[in-house]
Chain A
């Protein structure tokens, strides 16, 4: 029962965050919203794992948390340099320090 309540809250928040991701207005609002959405996905995977009595889902949640973080950093870096590989040449000595 408590799991269902948690899952419901996570789903409602996902909708709210998705509204922000669709509305924008800047690309950074969308990145922020997608990052929060990723955190909520980790929560949803964990809660649904408990809801169905299959805590093995936590491994997926752990991997999703890792991917979410790396994805956010990669997208911010891409927005900044328009390039994933050659930031150093493109943007000068400041490149590594996003």
Chain B
């Protein structure tokens, strides 16, 4: 806890992590609105879930120091890291099962019609 380092360094580190994280969150939010269809919107949602979230939580870790709070933040981070792809994948499967097909810009990618679910 009482490291022989000037606490201002940790403040600067916190800023260095939280500011890009905040920007990424807002860009992810904008992407959720501007992207054309539900499959394309999963990618900005991924930005929010992965890097945006992680940067802010790591920034908070620098303020907490070597305490139990940091461990809890790491647990939250690990949990979101492991569950967000699973949730996205479940949603994508549910979309395909319901007959929502992705809008593709490229005709030759007939990947879904061949072996995928109708």
Contact = CB atoms under 8 A, between A and B. Distances in A.
A–B touching in complex (CB under 8 Å): yes
Interface of A: 2-3, 5-6, 8-10, 12-17, 19-20, 23, 26, 28-29, 31-33, 35-36, 39-40, 42-43, 46-47, 50, 55, 58-59, 61-62, 65-66, 69, 72-73, 76-77, 79-80, 97-98
Interface stretch (B1-9, B91-99, B105-113): B91-99
B91 A76 contact: yes
A43 B53 contact: yes
A62 B42 CA distance: 23
A72 B80 contact: no
Contact of A98 (B32, B53, B64, B93): B93
Nearest to B29: A16
B98 A46 contact: no
A9 B25 contact: yes
B10 to A, nearest CB: 11
A15 B33 CA distance: 11
Given A13-B48, A73-B90, 13 more contacts: A6-B21, A8-B22, A13-B29, A16-B29, A28-B100, A32-B45, A40-B25, A46-B60, A55-B69, A72-B91, A76-B93, A77-B90, A80-B93
Contacts of B59: 2, 6
A76 B93 CA distance: 9
B109 to A, nearest CB: 21
B19 interface: yes
B66 interface: no
B41 A6 contact: no
A79 B92 CA distance: 12
B92 to A, nearest CB: 9
A13 B90 contact: no
A42 B80 contact: yes
B65 to A, nearest CB: 11
Which among A5, A8, A36, A65 has the greatest number of chain B C-beta atoms within 10 A? A36
B60 A19 contact: no
